[in-house]
Structure 1
């Protein structure tokens, strides 16, 4: 995770998001990923120009990507090839442990707008109910959900975005 190596940049990003100040997306030449001497860099759109109009978030790269998609602020290509079928699955999976944390709601629809089923099945997740042993340790180590969350999707510090279903409500529902 790049922000771990640049804590001052991450703290500045959080402070800016909280104060609604101009967002501090680094120019590509200074982001530590792009070669500042590459001649092609002049043809790329800078992050501040590309991301500033999108719905703001308080974490990660400061963009609420699902909100941007659902509001029509962005319309990503669903496939590289026009003849490839797009499969959007509108099904939520509740991972319930009935422990101290609320249960996890995994929304397939939001994920399949961006990714084909084959991005996650059969690796890192078997496509059979109960076949996956989820582990926060594995996720925090960049495995399972951590392959994307903490890297290109909202960070793992936003626990309530996944742990969003009251265990008490699930227990009441199960008792019916």
Structure 2
């Protein structure tokens, strides 16, 4: 990737991090000149799109005063957005419709990891083998590591829905899953 491409990705990452950090401030999408992150005297603000202008047209997230108030997967499914899945045109993206159920969750509900919405945005190589091992159960996940920005925390809490929305991931009650298994036998 050339210097221009790296700078563009860095700028996007910086902007998305700023959006996340300003979560409570963006409850109603505070204009950039008033968000406490951007210099209100910077002439570049005149050409930048305010979050309210950009995000208010997308499906609204009901997550309270956290995050950027957008249901990104719903925005994708409804055709509001068409994210680029790769930089290089020769990269072939495989959408994988497979859910992984993670049962080592202590006393909380199991975690359902849906591959489909993730692979509609990202190539598998973005996560495998650097962040997650390919074989389920081989990556030693912990909430401390995730909250520290590792594993799932690389995106959630930065550019995806915030980590404080526990039930979005911890969504499978053990007894429900066991009942489904018993019904199949």
The answer to whether the aligner puts 1:56 opposite 2:60 as a matched pair is yes
Give the alignment's Cα RMSD to 1 decimal: 2.6
Q: 1:168 to 1:54 in 2, by over 3 A?
A: same
Alignment map for 1:8-157 (pairs within 5 Å): 10=24, 13=27, 23=28, 25-59=29-63, 60-97=67-104, 99-157=106-164
Q: Which has the higher contact order (CA 8 A, sep 6+)?
A: 2
8 A contact 2:20–2:158 mirrored in 1: no
Please name the residue that 2:7 is paired with.
none
Q: Secondary structure at the match of 1:94?
A: strand
- Tell me how far 1:41 sits from its aligned partner: 3.1
CA distance in 2, matches of 1:85, 1:5: 33
Could you tell me how far 1:39 is from its partner in structure 2? 3.7
Q: State the distance in 2 between where 1:11 and 1:40 align.
A: 21
Q: How much has 1:122 moved relative to structure 2?
A: 1.3
TM-score by length of 1: 0.80
TM-score, length of structure 2 as denominator length = 0.76
How many residue pairs get aligned? The number is 164
Q: Which of 116-125 and 100-109 deviates more?
A: 116-125
* Stretches of structure 2 lacking an aligned partner (at least 5 in a row): 1-16
For residues 128 and 72 of structure 1, the distance between their equivalents in structure 2, rounded to whole angstroms, comes to 32
3-state secondary structure, aligned to 1:139: helix
- Structure 1: state its 5+ residue gaps: 14-22
